[in-house]
Amino acid sequence: MRDLPEQFSQFGEARQQGFMKVKKVKEAGGKVAGIFCTFTPVEILDAAGFTAVSLCGMSGETIPAAEAHLPKNLCPLIKSSYGFAVSDKCPYTYFSDLIVAESTCDGKKKMYELLDKIRPTYVLHLPQGLAGDALEKWKNELIRFIAFLEDRFDVKITEEALRKAARERNEERKSRLALMELQKLTPPPAKGYDLYKALEGSGFVFESSQRINQLNDLRESIEAAYRDGQGKVKASDRRILVTGCPIGGVLNKTVKLIEENGGVVTCFENCSGIKAAYQMVNAEADDIVGAIAERYLGIGCSVMTPNDIRIDHLKKLVEEYKIDGVVEIDLQCCTPYNVESFTVKNEMKKLSIPYIQIETDYSESDSGQLSTRLEAFLETI
C-alpha cells in the first residue's frame, strides 16, 4: 500500500496557513465573519462580501478558561468555543468583524450573551421544528439578518449576489458529496479518519473555486489509487456509520479507535459529514431568500422536533453505504442528541443493524474504556 494521496496534506497545510490568510483579508480591507454551525446561511455572508471562517472549538485546552465563567456540567463544545474566545487563543475570533451565532440549544444561547461582550455576536433565531409557519418565520429571520448586515456594514446584498453565492456553494456541496460517496465502494477506498480530516481542512481554504478544485483533485487521486489496487482498507473491515454530535474534538479517541480495531468509518452522518451537505439551494427560485431558508431548515439536526428528517436519512444511508454497524458519538450534556439516541437505537434494531452509543467529552480520561467498548462492539459484528 502506498502513502495517502498528497492532496490530503494540502488540507493540513491549509489549516496551518488559514490564520495568515485571514490576516491578509483584514489587511486588504476585507470583512470576516466567524461562524459555528451548519445552520449559518453562508450564502448571505458570501453575498455581503464576508469571508466566513469556522471558529475554534474542538480542543479541551481552553475549557478551564471557559469554566471560570460557565458551569462545568456543560457541553464541551460550548465550553471549548467560549474558552478559545475568552483566552484569546483563536485568531479567527480575533479577526472576526462579526460572529454569527444560532439558537440551536439553550447552552449556546446563554454562552452567546457572554461571547457578545468579547466580539460583536449576532444570533439567528432558528425555529425548533418544521410545523406551521416555521419556514416563513425562518425566512423573515434571514431578511432581518440581511437588513442588519446592510445597515451595520454599509453593503448592498442583491438578489443576483445571493444567486451567485448559492450556485457556488451548491457546487462545493456536490464536490464534498462526490468525495464522501466514494466510500460506497466495496471495500471503501479510504479510511474514514483521513477523509474526515480532509473535509475538515477544506473549511480553511477560503476561496470557493480553490476549495472545489482541491476536493475534486482529492477524489480523483483516491479513485486512481483504488483502480490500481492500492486502496487503504481491508475487505474484512466492518463498515461503520458514525452519527451524533460534532466529533472534531473527540476524533482520535473514537474514529481512530474504530479503525484500529477492525472497522472502517464508511459514512459520517454528523454535521461535518453528510448531514448538511446533500441539501441544495434552488438558485433559480423566484424567491431566493425563501429558497435559502428552505434549504437550511431541512438540515436534520436533533434540535428539531420531531426530527423525522434525520431518522429517515439514517435509514437511507445504512442501505446505500451497506453499513454493518452504527456508532453514535454524543457529547456529554448534549440533551437533544442524547435523548434522540433512544429513537435511533430502536430504528437500527428494526433494521437488524448493530448499534452502540458513546457519550464522551474532550478529556482523555475515558479513552481506555472507549477502546474496550468499541473493540467488543466490532467483534460482535
Q: What is the CATH classification number for the domain harbouring 285?
A: 3.40.50.11900
Residue 307 DSSP symbol? -
439567528: which residue's cell? 124
340 in the same domain as 250: yes
pLDDT for 9-37, tens place per residue? 666 666 668 888 888 999 999 999 999 99
133 in the same domain as 76: yes
Instruction: Give the span between the Cα atoms of 324 and 322, in whole angstroms.
Output: 7
115 in the same domain as 19: yes
Q: What is the pLDDT of residue 232?
A: 83
- Whether the per-residue pLDDT at 204 is higher than 90: the answer is no
Residue 165 identity (one-letter amino acid): A
154 in the same domain as 265: no
168 in the same domain as 259: yes
Q: What is the pLDDT of residue 248?
A: 93
pLDDT for 76-129, tens place per residue? 999 999 999 999 988 899 999 999 999 999 999 999 999 999 999 999 999 999
**SS3 breakdown of the chain: % helix, strand, coil, rounded to 5?**
55, 10, 35
- Whether the per-residue pLDDT at 226 is higher than 80: the answer is yes
105 in the same domain as 10: yes
Collect all residues with Cβ–Cβ distance below 8 Å to 42 and sequence separation of at least 6.
35, 52, 165, 169
CA proximity to 109, closest of 88, 128, 94: 128
pLDDT for 154-201, tens place per residue? 999 999 999 999 999 999 999 999 999 999 999 999 999 999 999 988
Read off the CATH number of the domain in which 81 is found: 3.40.50.11890
Look at residues 133, 158, 183 and tell me which one is the last residue of a structural domain. 158
Look at residues 140, 158, 176 and tell me which one is the last residue of a structural domain. 158
Total domains in the chain come to 2
Residue 202 identity (one-letter amino acid): S
194 in the same domain as 111: no
Look at residues 123, 158, 193 and tell me which one is the last residue of a structural domain. 158
* Cα 203 to Cα 13, 56, 85, 90, distances in angstroms: 12, 12, 19, 15
189: preceding bond cis by omega (within 30 degrees) = no
59 in the same domain as 169: no
183 in the same domain as 43: no
- Whether the per-residue pLDDT at 303 is higher than 60: the answer is yes
DSSP codes joined into one string, 47-70: HTTEEEEEPP-S-STTHHHHTTTS
Q: What is the pLDDT of residue 230?
A: 87
368 in the same domain as 242: yes
101 in the same domain as 210: no
205 in the same domain as 138: no
Domain that holds residue 44: 4-158
Which residues share a beta bridge with 331?
360
- How many Cβ atoms are within 10 Å of 316's Cβ, its own excluded? 10
